Amino acid sequence: MKTFYIETFGCQMNAHDSEKVVGTLLTRGYEQVETPEDAELVLYNTCSIRDKAEQKVFNRLQNFKRHAGKGKVFGVLGCVAQQEGEKIFDRAPHVSLVVGSASYNQLPQLLVQIENGDKRVTGLSLDTEDTFETPMTSRDNPHRAFLTIIEGCNKACSYCVVPFTRGPERSRTAASVIAEAKQLVAAGYLEIMLLGQNVNSYRDPSPDGLNFAQLLEKLGEVQGLRRVRFTTSHPRDFTKEIIDAIDANPVLCNHIHLPVQSGSTEVLTKMQRMYTRDQYLRRIEWMKNAKRKMSITSDIIVGFPGETEQDLEQTLSLQDEVQFDSVFTFKYSKRPNTPALALEDHMSEDEKTRRLTMVMEKQRTIQLRINAEYLGTVEEVLVEGFNKATGQWISRTTQHKTLNFNHTVPDANLAGTFMNVMVTRAGPHSLVGESVV
Ligand code: 5AD
Ligand code: SF4
């Protein structure tokens, strides 16, 4: 029996790629083990979105260097593999396999080469036409399944490494997406999270040519499917039709993650985001006018080259105006090959930290206020699991808020069920409540 270990860094696309890699290995007769020590094949599925993420894999490889050659094979997958390519063999000579995120469909052949004892095997093509579909995907969560609808990215945000690591956009046919959704429901999944670097630019390659909103409508009709979510959206491609589809069908969750990156049109222009502050706010207005209360979340980068104090003020005022339910905040990080490297006025880390703190503090106050609005309301939640330390069940509302709740019936197994929960406490990052039976 051949054994493997895999550790995953980065986004949900990467998490899902790992699920597919695991499925591919299991069908080839490999057994998954819990530690790198126990494995013959050690895989790292890597992220290069920021420098810190990239460093992690090289730290891991350094830690296990001493095991190299003792029957252990090391593989680097994902975005760092694509970005660094064969240079990885120079930095970490004990690595045998380097496979970029756009080349996973070659994985079975590459594994054969490894099994035959090849010491340096690569899959780094970016121009692959195919999407990564496998006969078997080993999913981590028993209730919520990831489902890729589009791979790659055709945008050119000046800070972003993703177009280089994941290649150009490839949409799956709507028929194959719907067929997979039906299979997932038949296998007991209640919720599907649609994935893509930019799901809004989805376009069915078959003659039907469905756009993203039309695909959502179709998925909302799949019998037995209770929740559909999606990530990530891009403001430039986000349409009012998407909100209309959500309005028309409660299976489509009332949560939109719409990364804004900055509240300043000048900075957005330098970022090559292709929208202005006002255009972003127009999309927010659509959401605010929706029939159900939308939760709106975002990503913000501080310290982009040339960001002035006024630009930062614009981001803070945008936070006030939108009232985001939550925001991921990042300090700008220089990435190889990206156009922003050539810009002037790169900022010190200390100054980036100061700006990050301002954005985060503002956001904390907003979240406390927003979450307090839920006190006393009853929310329908999908239960994810039990937290032994707190004695509470962990669940999510349709708006993707975490709601931890007490349930008086002992020994009940609520995981994977829908419950009604009354909110009794509200913090900045989660809600607490009591089940309503
Ligand atoms: N530096 C900092 N943050 C970045 N992101 C993407 N590239 C960079 C970078 N070079 C952030 C963006 C994106 C999120 C996934 O990561 O906010 O939306
Ligand atoms: Fe990281 Fe981006 Fe690659 Fe996801 S797509 S793993 S966030 S670099």
From the CA of 153, which ligand is nearest? 2
* 102 and 195 belong to one structural domain: no
Q: Is residue 128 predicted with pLDDT exceeding 80?
A: no
429 CB-near residues (< 8 Å, 6+ apart): 326, 367, 402
- Is residue 242 predicted with pLDDT exceeding 80? yes
Alpha-carbon distance values, 394 to 327, 403, 407 (Å):
21, 6, 11
Residues 55 and 185 in one domain: no
Whether 426 lines ligand 2, by a CB cut-off of 6 Å, is no
- Give the CB-side neighbour count of residue 313, counting CA atoms within 13 A: 3
Take atom 5 of ligand 2 and give the residue whose Cα is closest. Answer: 162
Same-domain pairing of 338 and 255? yes
Residue 44: is its pLDDT beyond 70?
yes
Q: Which of 282, 177, 272 is nearest to 220 (CA)?
A: 177
Residue 291: what pLDDT?
A: 97
Band of residue 1 on the pLDDT scale cut at 50, 70, 90: low
pLDDT band at 256; cut points 50, 70, 90: very high
Q: What number is the average pLDDT over the span 224-238?
A: 98
Q: Which ligand has the nearest atom to the CA of 339?
A: 1
SS3 readout for 365-384? HHHHHHHHCCCCCEEEEEEE
Judge whether 257 lies within some domain. Answer: yes
Position 132 in a domain:
no
What pLDDT was estimated at residue 257? 98
Q: Is the confidence at residue 193, as pLDDT, over 70?
A: yes
Q: Measuring from each residue's beta carbon to the nearest atom of ligand 1, which residues come in under 6 Å? A: 49-50, 159-160, 259, 261, 299, 301, 330, 332-333, 335
Give the number of the ligand closest to the Cα of residue 233. Answer: 1
Q: How far is the CA of 44 from the centre of ligand 1 (A)?
A: 21
Do 93 and 229 fall into the same domain?
Answer: no
pLDDT in tens, 283-328: 999 999 999 999 999 999 999 999 999 999 999 999 999 999 999 9
Ligand 1 atom closest to residue 159's alpha carbon, by position in its atom list = 10
DSSP for 8-71 reads E-SSHHHHHHHHHHHHHHHHTTEEE-SSGGG-SEEEEEE--SSHHHHHHHHHHHHHTGGGBTTT
User: What is the rounded distance in angstroms from the CA atom of residue 92 to the CA atom of residue 245?
Assistant: 49
**Is residue 130 in some structural domain?**
no
C-alpha 306 – ligand 1 centre gap (Å): 16
Predicted confidence at residue 395, as pLDDT, reads: 97
Supply the pLDDT for residue 108: 87
Same structural domain, 260 and 387: no
Q: What's the gap in Å between 297 CA and the centre of ligand 1?
A: 15
User: What does the block give as tokens for 139?
Assistant: 């999913």
What is the residue with the minimal CA distance to atom 6 of ligand 2?
47
Mean pLDDT of the chain: 95
Write down which residue in 372, 402, 426 finishes a domain. Answer: 372
Same domain, 261 and 173: yes
| Residue 412: per-residue pLDDT | 81
More confident of the two residues 44 and 409: 44
User: Is position 99 within any domain?
Assistant: yes
Ligand 2 nearest atom to the CA of residue 45, by list position: 6
With 70 as the cut, is the pLDDT of residue 266 above it? yes
Residue 133 lies in a domain: no
Task: Band the pLDDT of 70: cuts 50, 70, 90.
Answer: confident
Q: What is the pLDDT of residues 82-118, one digit of tens each?
A: 999 999 999 999 999 999 988 888 888 999 999 898 9
Tens-place pLDDT, residues 326-345 = 999 999 999 999 999 999 98
> Nearest C-alpha to atom 2 of ligand 1 is from which residue?
332
Q: Are 262 and 115 in a shared domain?
A: no
Looking at the fold, whether 94 and 193 belong to one and the same domain comes out as: no
Distance 81 CA to ligand 2 centre (A): 11
Q: Within a domain: residue 223?
A: yes
pTM of the predicted model, to two decimals? 0.95
Residue 137 lies in a domain: no
Bridge partners of residue 432, in order along the sequence: 404, 425
Stretch among 67-71, 225-229, 289-293, 393-397 having the lowest mean pLDDT: 67-71
Structural domain includes residue 417? yes
Query: Of the residues 89, 123, 157, which one is the last residue of a structural domain?
Result: 123
| The ligand 1 atom nearest the CA atom of 328 | 17
Quote the DSSP letter at residue 235. Answer: G
Query: How much is the pLDDT for 410?
Result: 75
Nearest CA to ligand 1 atom 17: 299
Q: Would you state the pLDDT for residue 343? A: 96
Q: Which structural domain, as residue segments, surrounds residue 63?
A: 3-123
The packing angle between helices 174-186 and 212-220, to 10°, is 30
**What separation in Å is there between the alpha carbon of 336 and the centre of ligand 2?**
14
Closest-lying ligand 2 atom to the alpha carbon of residue 165: 3
CATH assignment at residue 41: 3.40.50.12160
% the chain with pLDDT above 90: 89
Assign residue 252 the CATH number of its domain. 3.80.30.20
Query: What mean pLDDT is predicted for residues 53-69?
Result: 85
29 and 59 inside one domain: yes
Ligand 2 contacts CB of residue 232 (under 6 A): no
- How many structural domains compose the chain? 3
Asked if 298 and 393 sit in the same domain, the reply is no
Distances (CA, A) of 417 to 142, 144, 191, 377: 11, 12, 11, 19
What does the pLDDT read at residue 105?
Answer: 84
244 and 110, same structural domain? no
162 touches ligand 2 (CB under 6 Å): yes
Q: What is the pLDDT of residue 69?
A: 66
What does each C-alpha distance from 415 to 280, 384, 385, 392, 394 come to in angstroms?
38, 5, 5, 12, 9
The CATH number that applies at residue 401 is 2.40.50.140
Q: Do 355 and 405 lie in a common domain?
A: no
Domain endpoint, select from 353, 372, 391? 372
